[in-house]
A and B are shown apart, each in its own frame.
Chain A
Amino acid sequence: MANSNSALVTKLLLIVVGMFGFGFALVPLYDVFCDITGINGKTNETAAVYYDGQVDESRTITVEFITRTHTGMPWEFRAQTKKVKVHPGEMNMVEFYVRNPANKSMVAQAIPSVTPGQAALYLNKTECFCFNSQPLAAGGESLMPMRFYVDPQLPEDIHFFTVQYTLFDVTGNGTDDKQLNNPFLTSFSDN
């Protein structure tokens, strides 16, 4: 009986270890699930390809832009356009203003979130400041563009959705130095 006990205990311990691993596996699974389904308002994290199909002029969608900065983040951050009416399929550009009032260079990362979450799958950004972290010298300011189109497949019942950007301070998170020296980003933050 001692043998059958230890065999069973081994199996049960394997379940325990497996479930501990499963708890952590939920983290990537969650991201994959949200990417595929678009729930949770997560938008594409890399540039989408340009849309070359038909623009659906029969529908008008209102897209609203909200900005906020995370607790402790001193930057000024606002959308130059608060609301824009678009036709599904047409390209649009909006700009966001940022200023770093601190007396040191900082790096920021904007995280988007779309409400209602289902609309996130149909918001295609071909260019976005949120794809990369954004360095800004002390006192520097910048206009950051975002180009997007709304997929004509957007469900019929959605006429209005909100895109919210939250700006986080990521200074000192390891990748900054490289990015601070990135010529593209430096010139970008100079305009």
Chain B
Amino acid sequence: MSKATEIISPAHGDAGAHDDHHEHHIPKGLMRWVLTTNHKDIGTLYLWFAFIMFLVGGAMAMVIRAELFQPGLQIVEPNFFNQMTTVHGLIMVFGAVMPAFTGLANWLIPMMIGAPDMALPRMNNWSFWILPFAFTILLASLFVEGGGPAFGWTFYAPLSTTYSGDSTALFVFSVHIMGISSIMGAINVIVTIFNMRAPGMTWMKMPLFVWTWLITAFLLIAVMPVLAGAVTMVLTDKFFGTSFFDAAGGGDPVMFQHIFWFFGHPEVYIMILPAFGIISQIIPTFARKRLFGYASMVYATASIALLSFIVWAHHMFTTGMPVAAEMFFMFATMLISVPTGVKVFNWVATMWRGSMTFEIPMMFAIAFIVLFTIGGLSGLMLAITPVDFQYHDTYFVVAHFHYVLVTGAVFSIMAAVYYWIPKWTGRMFDITLAKWHFWCSLISVNVLFFPMHFVGLAGMPRRIPDYALQFADFNKWISLGGFAFGLSQLIFLAVMIKACRKQGEPVSDQVWDGAEGLEWEIPSPAPYHTFETPPVVK
């Protein structure tokens, strides 16, 4: 469709014939969302999808915590408990955190680099719209005979090959679809950043959110195919008589762990690098100072990404590796704390002697720095091979990865949404409610996850529906914290619904006093199409 036709007959543009070159025409109704190729629409879809999945996965966590409220089996059967831990993990990783980051990438990367849209808008539509199908399949598997996947989100063989139900096939296909979605999203991000930067937007002028996402996208296309390979091998081992992981046929179950963690460790950086980018955008705004050590941030991100490929076996210290290999993986893992330390240092140095104010995004960002660092330090403890033999598969591990993923990745996503949503809606969100959300979340999340360190050190194993009596008091506190954290997210839901209904004071184009970057130069709310003529970056 040529531009001339559109201008002559703008009213003809029903949703079916929608073309992303329309200037002032937004199709209405459901089909707008189904057929959209607009990066802002797709970003919104991703973010709401992630939020719904966050609540679904959270509801499963509530089941887990209700069962663990006291020792003994009272609410659910052990097999259903195992399905809850498994699907909670899968949903939070692939349904909540990763789509939320992709949603932010869709909204922000074109606006930050001065591009009119993502480079491959139609593929963008596909990469979102296959996701609901993936998660429908996964959730539907909970209702088939024998129940859903119950082997943990890591689906170790032989749990997933020999001892799993027929629903494993559904699990495998849903992971395939999630993987395809992530790969398409990653390709889109890379092509957009390589080819669509505005004139003058050189590599070392790119905002850090763009940098961290670029590196994340490369990690995604490198390791999501390995995950696809691993689930395919599980599928053929279970249903088609291959023996990749079956010792009887010459395979090896430990090899599953090598293949899985070769994907799995870069995956955890996929879930944290964009968070580093977000924090690096927010801290300078509210400290009213330039980011300290921009170049070192870029190099630190790249080093973390490269190191993530050579540390995978630190998840497997107890499988009986030779001491030399354990030493290698221990030291390589500890090495990652150097670039991570550079980042934490730079954030603190940015705040040092800055004119700081504590708006909601800044509060989440500071909470991120403190609590993520706690999670990083428990990670260092886990990296020490000899003590890992005690910590392995205990609640200490659960505490560690929830500190880095909940108070790390999830807090950064909340910080990002609070930071940019006034730009998206043109209105300030309900600050009072948001403060309630922040303080309730901050307190409850620590009641929830901090005591897990203690029960873990005392030897409480993870992924069990019952436990020894001496852990009862701590578990009661953990469960209460869990319920409170879950309820706190309903406040977040209320803030988001109010914001999307455009209640609140209109905001200026810059929104925040110290905000810098191309996205703050366009009007608030951000128009449906931005930067159709590229800006010139000085």
Check if A26 sits within 8 Å of B222, measured CB to CB: no
- Interface flag for B255 (CB, 8 Å): yes
Q: How many residues of B contact A (CB 8 A)?
A: 36
Q: Which of A13, A20, A118, A168 lies in contact with B187, CB distance below 8 A?
A: A13
Smallest CB–CB gap between A69 and chain B, Å? Answer: 11
Check if B247 sits within 8 Å of A115, measured CB to CB: no
Smallest CB–CB gap between A157 and chain B, Å? Answer: 10
Of A3-11, A53-61, A135-143, the stretch lying at the interface with chain B is: A3-11
Check if B221 sits within 8 Å of A15, measured CB to CB: yes
- Interface flag for B112 (CB, 8 Å): no
Smallest CB–CB gap between A130 and chain B, Å? Answer: 12
- Chain A residues closer than 8 Å to B320, beta-carbon distance: 40-41, 115-117
Check if A5 sits within 8 Å of B229, measured CB to CB: no
Of B190-198, B292-300, B467-475, the stretch lying at the interface with chain A is: B190-198
Q: Which of A23, A37, A109, A117 lies in contact with B248, CB distance below 8 A?
A: A109
**Distance between Cα atoms of A117 and B316 in the complex (Å):** 15
Which 6 A-B residue pairings sit nearest by Cβ, starting from the closest? A23-B229, A168-B248, A20-B225, A19-B225, A23-B226, A12-B187
- Chain B residues closer than 8 Å to A15, beta-carbon distance: 221-222
- Chain A residues closer than 8 Å to B230, beta-carbon distance: 23
Check if A23 sits within 8 Å of B225, measured CB to CB: yes
Residues 132 to 191 of chain A near chain B (Cβ within 8 Å): 166, 168-170, 173
Bits for B248-273, please: 1 = Cβ < 8 Å to A, else 0: 11001011001100110000000000
Check if A16 sits within 8 Å of B183, measured CB to CB: yes
Check if A12 sits within 8 Å of B191, measured CB to CB: yes
Given known contacts A23-B230, A23-B259, A5 and B225 CB-to-CB distance under 8 angstroms: no
- Interface flag for A49 (CB, 8 Å): no
Check if A30 sits within 8 Å of B258, measured CB to CB: yes
Q: For the A-B complex with A8-B190, A22-B225, A27-B233 known, give 11 more contacts whose Cβ atoms are closer than 8 Å.
A: A16-B221, A19-B221, A19-B226, A23-B226, A23-B227, A24-B229, A30-B255, A39-B325, A40-B254, A40-B320, A70-B248
Residues of A within 8 A of B (CB): 1, 4-5, 8-9, 12-13, 15-20, 22-24, 26-27, 30, 37, 39-41, 70-71, 109, 111, 115-118, 166, 168-170, 173
Check if B190 sits within 8 Å of A4, measured CB to CB: no
Smallest CB–CB gap between A122 and chain B, Å? Answer: 13
Residue of B nearest to A4 (CB): B195
- Chain A residues closer than 8 Å to B263, beta-carbon distance: 23
**Distance between Cα atoms of A170 and B119 in the complex (Å):** 53
Check if A12 sits within 8 Å of B190, measured CB to CB: yes
**Distance between Cα atoms of A169 and B246 in the complex (Å):** 12
- Chain A residues closer than 8 Å to B221, beta-carbon distance: 12, 15-16, 19
Check if A5 sits within 8 Å of B247, measured CB to CB: no
Q: Which of B191, B233, B252, B258 lies in contact with A5, CB distance below 8 A?
A: B191
- Interface flag for B380 (CB, 8 Å): no
- Chain B residues closer than 8 Å to A40, beta-carbon distance: 252, 254, 320
Given known contacts A5-B119, A26-B262, A170-B248, A39 and B187 CB-to-CB distance under 8 angstroms: no
Check if A23 sits within 8 Å of B191, measured CB to CB: no
Smallest CB–CB gap between A33 and chain B, Å? Answer: 10
- Chain B residues closer than 8 Å to A116, beta-carbon distance: 320, 322
Smallest CB–CB gap between B223 and chain A, Å? Answer: 7
Residue of A nearest to B190 (CB): A12
Check if B225 sits within 8 Å of A39, measured CB to CB: no
**Distance between Cα atoms of A166 and B322 in the complex (Å):** 22
Given known contacts A15-B221, A115-B320, A1 and B195 CB-to-CB distance under 8 angstroms: yes
- Chain B residues closer than 8 Å to A12, beta-carbon distance: 187, 190-191, 221
Check if A20 sits within 8 Å of B226, measured CB to CB: yes
**Distance between Cα atoms of A34 and B320 in the complex (Å):** 13
Smallest CB–CB gap between A22 and chain B, Å? Answer: 7
**Distance between Cα atoms of A12 and B195 in the complex (Å):** 14
8 contacts between A and B (CB under 8 A): A16-B225, A19-B223, A19-B226, A22-B226, A23-B225, A23-B229, A24-B229, A111-B247
- Chain A residues closer than 8 Å to B194, beta-carbon distance: 8
- Chain A residues closer than 8 Å to B255, beta-carbon distance: 26-27, 30
Residue of B nearest to A169 (CB): B248
Given known contacts A39-B321, A70-B248, A19 and B259 CB-to-CB distance under 8 angstroms: no
**Distance between Cα atoms of A9 and B230 in the complex (Å):** 24
Residues 175 to 214 of chain B near chain A (Cβ within 8 Å): 183, 187, 190-191, 194-196
- Chain B residues closer than 8 Å to A9, beta-carbon distance: 120, 187, 191
Residues 215 to 233 of chain B near chain A (Cβ within 8 Å): 221-230, 233
- Interface flag for B244 (CB, 8 Å): yes
Q: Which of A17, A111, A173 lies in contact with B225, CB distance below 8 A?
A: A17
- Chain B residues closer than 8 Å to A111, beta-carbon distance: 247-248
Residue of A nearest to B123 (CB): A9
Given known contacts A15-B221, A118-B322, A5 and B195 CB-to-CB distance under 8 angstroms: yes
**Distance between Cα atoms of A16 and B219 in the complex (Å):** 11
Residue of A nearest to B231 (CB): A23
Smallest CB–CB gap between A170 and chain B, Å? Answer: 6
Q: Which of A8, A16, A37, A117 lies in contact with B195, CB distance below 8 A?
A: A8
Residues 325 to 346 of chain B near chain A (Cβ within 8 Å): 325
Bits for B397-429, please: 1 = Cβ < 8 Å to A, else 0: 000000000000000000000000000000000
**Distance between Cα atoms of A71 and B230 in the complex (Å):** 24
Smallest CB–CB gap between A114 and chain B, Å? Answer: 10
Q: Which of A5, A19, A117 lies in contact with B120, CB distance below 8 A?
A: A5
Residue of B nearest to A25 (CB): B229
Check if A117 sits within 8 Å of B258, measured CB to CB: no
Smallest CB–CB gap between B17 and chain A, Å? Answer: 21
**Distance between Cα atoms of A8 and B226 in the complex (Å):** 21
Smallest CB–CB gap between A11 and chain B, Å? Answer: 10
**Distance between Cα atoms of A166 and B259 in the complex (Å):** 24
Bits for B305-330, please: 1 = Cβ < 8 Å to A, else 0: 00000000000000011100100000
Q: Which of B223, B262, B322 lies in contact with A39, CB distance below 8 A?
A: B322
- Chain A residues closer than 8 Å to B229, beta-carbon distance: 20, 22-24, 26
Smallest CB–CB gap between A14 and chain B, Å? Answer: 10
